[in-house]
Amino acid sequence: MADNDPQFLGLVELGEQIRARRLSPVEVTNAALDRISRLDGALKSFSTVTAEAALAAARIAGQEIAEGRWRGPLHGVPVAVKDLCWMKDTPTAHGMPLLRENRPSEDGTVVARLRAAGAVILGKLQQTEGALGLHHPDIDPPVNPWNPDLWTGVSSSGSGVATAAGLCYGAIGTDTGGSIRLPSSCNGVTGLKPTWGRVSRYGAFELAATLDHIGPMARSAVDCGAMLGAIAGADPKDPTAAPEPVPDYLAGLRDDLRGMTIGVDHRLVSQGVDEETGATFDEALRTLARLGAEIREIGFPDPTPVVDDWTPLCGIETAVAHENLYPTHKAAYGPGLAGFIELGLKLSAVDYQKIVLRREAFRGQLRALFGDTDLIAMPTLAFAAPTLAKMASIVSDPSVLQGVLRFNCPFDMTGSPTITLPAGAAANGGCIGFQLVGRHFDEARLVAAGHAFQSHTDWHRRHPTL
């Protein structure tokens, strides 16, 4: 369904309405809080709602805008953040009941930058335990707003559900093995995974340090570009945050793709991909071609080694992230996260070094592809709108895990930026997306390509009936 409900305006569209004073930050914040109150008891996307603080921020934003002190497209717009982002004096549990009383003494960098941009933060969004693949057994997982029998994606499940359901205008997610792209695809929203280091990780609980990416999830590519512009950039608190200048991601956008080359390895993207996913992906390619893009056949490097290496590498890095907590609180961990840490603890230094070498080789092979190709197109999942029952078989059926990891974790291993775009609907009522992959720090091209695609399609404007 697509309509003009203010709760389903794009973030940038709403920001323009607020700047023109046709809508007030307090008005839209109250509407969002009311919608959360009415709907989130069933959807379970929020772990904490900070209503009082949100309304206080909305009042300040309204006053500043009235006085002509406009901060940018996020000013006065209600957003929310994944529960692993530190918020001062606010419960920040990382999806772990063990940490439910944790209240950071400061904001993480992403939260601080959202506040500096004038955004109104509604609260914290539910996630899987430790941002891995499963919700803790003591936590009710978020519910897909399109169909409660469908998977929400992991680990930014609350971010995908809240954005799709119109409970916020944009959300922060993180991606270590697909956790911006999977919930974006499954909930029919747009997700932008930046280059590793493009966004500071200071004040965000770690899953795997060299794989973790922080990025926006919103209604459109333009909205994601606006959010990324607010949160990206160097940070003295995080020495791994990249010093590259942050461009204006909304500058010079067009509704065509003339002069852009998009690479596709048709053999790779058809192997093990179901009919609905394949048909949706092919139609997306036809749309990109109609917009003027040159669709070029490429030979993508075999992703099997890095897909296989992602699990042990992530296990090692997760064990490091939890080394001061896990040994003494092991009983409080869910079986999924505990098992993953144990896997990491068992691997040898020799095994680790072999993984590092294969990872670097794959990075080089992928980098070479971008010599004459601007973007690479891929599905996000090998199957369309998976059910909860299907995903419950992920341990016993290796093809399910492969279908999740195959098109996702390679680009966490390389740190490459991607944008996930809604592109179709499945027969079971769920959503189907696809992704474009870019050169490091070429997020502006991803936003431009996403905007052009969304200028000629309306999948991003559809929303569930609730």
Angle between helix 443-455 and helix 221-231 axes, rounded to 10 deg: 160
**Catalytic-labelled residue, pool 24, 155, 200, 416:** 155
Q: Is 82 considered catalytic here?
A: yes
Tokens 């529960």 sit on residue = 83
Q: What are phi and psi of 260, to 5 degrees?
A: -100, 135
Q: Of 464, 462, 465, which Cα lies nearest the Cα of 220?
A: 462
Q: Is 155 considered catalytic here?
A: yes
Q: Cβ(198)–Cβ(153) under 8 Å?
A: no
Helix (H, G, I), strand (E, B) or coil at 340: helix
Pairing of strands 213-218, 170-175: antiparallel
Tokens 């098992």 sit on residue = 339
User: Is the four-CA dihedral 135, 139, 145, 148 of positive or negative sign?
Assistant: positive
Sheet bearing 120-125, strands edge to edge: 46-49, 120-125, 78-82, 170-175, 213-218, 190-193, 418-425, 431-438, 375-379, 261-264, 294-297
User: Is the four-CA dihedral 155, 161, 163, 168 of positive or negative sign?
Assistant: negative
By CB atoms closer than 10 A (0-12, 13-18, 19+), residue 267 is exposed
∠ CA 293-298-302, nearest 5°, is 140
What single letter denotes the amino acid at residue 375? L
Beta bridge partners of 215: 173
Give the span between the Cα atoms of 270 and 378, in whole angstroms. 10
User: Which distant-in-sequence residues (6+ apart) come within 8 Å of 394 by Cβ?
Assistant: 133, 400, 401, 404
User: Which distant-in-sequence residues (6+ apart) come within 8 Å of 115 by Cβ?
Assistant: 57, 107, 121
Beta bridge partners of 438: 375
**Catalytic-labelled residue, pool 82, 156, 159, 193:** 82
**Catalytic-labelled residue, pool 179, 185, 220, 416:** 179
Q: Cβ(13)–Cβ(174) under 8 Å?
A: no
Q: Is 124 considered catalytic here?
A: no
Q: Please list the active-site residues.
A: 82, 155, 179
